Amino acid sequence: MFGKKAVKIGNGISVRPSKSGDKQFLKNLYHSTRNDLSFAVKDEEELSLMIEQQRTAQITGYGTTSPNAYEFILEKSSEKIGRLMIDWTGTEIRILDISFIAAVRDKGGFGSAVIASLQQAVKANNAAISMHILKVYVTDFVMCQNLGFRVKEDKGYGWHMLWSPNWESENSKKPFIVT
């Protein structure tokens, strides 16, 4: 389903499969997204070790729960700006991770552009898109609602969000929770 070349999507972003030469970028990107752990550990060396353990756990977890997942590098003007990891089941794309470097995070609508391009791609297959959003990421939750996602389940710590192309023809008054 996914080729080896970069594909241009909205907002000037290109998406390409990750390769072995991206390992250091992916490690640095993950470390840059874990500011939450700096509140738990003050020692820099200990913090770096903890973040690396979390990254290893994430990789292992995705390998176990989504062994056929695809990892992509997001680029703008040939510069690496992020990562997209999805699991395509044939009827649904599960967004496992989408993250951006600090310089572009929450700027320029890059997350919206990536998700909107996935929405366009799955329409032909009448497929859904799902993802989990932790409750600390309220802006991501609002972005997804603006893109037509609905809460499938409130898990307490986060929301399981779902989008279906079938909802586009419905009345714009959508229920907050999918029934």
pLDDT at 154 over 90: yes
Q: Which domains are seen in the chain, by residue range?
A: 7-169 (3.40.630.30)
For 91, the token pair is 């009827």
Note the pLDDT of residue 1: 46
CA–CA separation, 130 vs 151, rounded Å?
Answer: 10
- Residue that the structure tokens 């969000």 belong to: 161
CA–CA separation, 166 vs 164, rounded Å?
Answer: 5
pLDDT tens-digit series, residues 71-102: 999 999 889 999 999 998 888 999 999 999 99
pLDDT tens-digit series, residues 2-40: 566 778 887 789 999 999 999 989 988 888 887 777 777
